[in-house]
Amino acid sequence: MKDLKIILMGFGAVGKGVAEAISIKKDNIKDKFDVNLKLVAVADSSSSAISGDGLDEKILIETKEKEGTLSKYPDFGCDINGLDVLNQVDYDLLVEATPTNIDDGEPAKSLTIKAFESGKDVVTSNKGHLALFFSEMIAIADKNNAEFKYEASVGGAMPIINFAEETLPSSNISSIVGILNGTTNYILSRMTTEGSSYKNTLEESQQLGIAETDPTQDVEGIDAACKTVILANSIFKVPATYSDVKVEGISKITSEAIELAKKEGYLIKLIAEVSKEGLSVSPRLVKNNSPYAIEGTLNMATIRTDLADEVTVVGKGAGSIETASAMLTDIINIIKKKY
């Protein structure tokens, strides 16, 4: 049996979800693929736990939640973090779940490049470095014969990249149109059903933990724009970056506009569209009984093809264990190919 030695970088909601998913599924993976998933290091922004013999996933989560730092992990906690962890630990795969940074893509960019240049494979949920430096990241991965997987960066648990590449290879895809941000979909859904204002609904979403304290990336369409860039590069092979996206958010949508649309049988949704002709994110009218009429924090995407016509996928766009499920799928796909 082979060990797959994993460094998990970033231990917020998604990182903890990855640890939980590994705890739940590692025996199944061991039985099916004869590969033992071993977390040899887990790091947050200021601390880590490191053990070549493997760390206990449940103790990692308990330590972080009770102590607020991984340095308190019994016997193996320390203050090493970031690139120093990659320099000091023997590993096979970096699972990168640090927060998205759309200004310079850090620390994900440096961590990912460091892993590739060491010949290591990378699975990420991060959008920042992909939206800004996708072509550069792929080139460095290819140069070092490393696998690079990023399904979780677009739709959380909604399978779209793997689906398009592995389930629809017979068809040419002309465009992808969908709802790629769960927070804005929740806000617009609540405004539609409750008749409430944007301001009040945003505040309610923040109280429920659905919207961030600073909701700018979601409500101004930045998060969805990053995802369109990733889809453009990965599925359409268009070397786009964030600056190529026409972006308009939902912060100017009024309850009056939603009510008027509702009377005509329409909903207002934040729609992302990706094709070789252009990338856009903007509020649009969609028919009330169409596939776009999803509610809550769900994501959806309609893939338009030449042979299969339109294929629509729907799934949870956020959530720690849901996003982690996509990252674990990427890990399993690497195991299938290389182990």
Annotated catalytic sites, by residue? Answer: 227
Q: How far apart are CA 248 and CA 258, in angstroms?
A: 17
268, 257 Cβ separation under 8 angstroms = yes
Nearest CA to 298 among 285, 286, 313? 313
Nearest CA to 128 among 101, 147, 150, 148? 101
CA dihedral 102, 106, 107, 113 (to 10 degrees): 120
Residue 273: both structure tokens together: 């569209």
Residue 217: both structure tokens together: 């990336």
For 27-172, where are the E strands, in sequence order?
35-43, 48-50, 77-78, 93-96, 121-124, 148-149
Nearest CA to 23 among 4, 44, 38, 8? 38
Q: Which amino acid is at 301?
A: A
The residues, any chain, with a CB within 8 Å of residue 191's CB and separated by 6 or more, are 197, 198, 201, 253, 255, 258
Residue 49: both structure tokens together: 């736990």
Q: Which segments are annotated as binding site for L-homoserine?
A: 212
Q: How far apart are CA 206 and CA 291, in angstroms?
A: 27
Q: Which segments are annotated as binding site for NADP(+)?
A: 10-15
Q: Which segments are annotated as binding site?
A: 10-15, 127, 212
86, 118 Cβ separation under 8 angstroms = yes
Beta bridge partners of 270: 283
Alpha carbon 143 to chain centroid, angstroms: 24
Q: Which segments are annotated as binding site for NADPH?
A: 127
270, 185 Cβ separation under 8 angstroms = yes
- DSSP per residue, 63-75: HHHHHSSGGGSTT
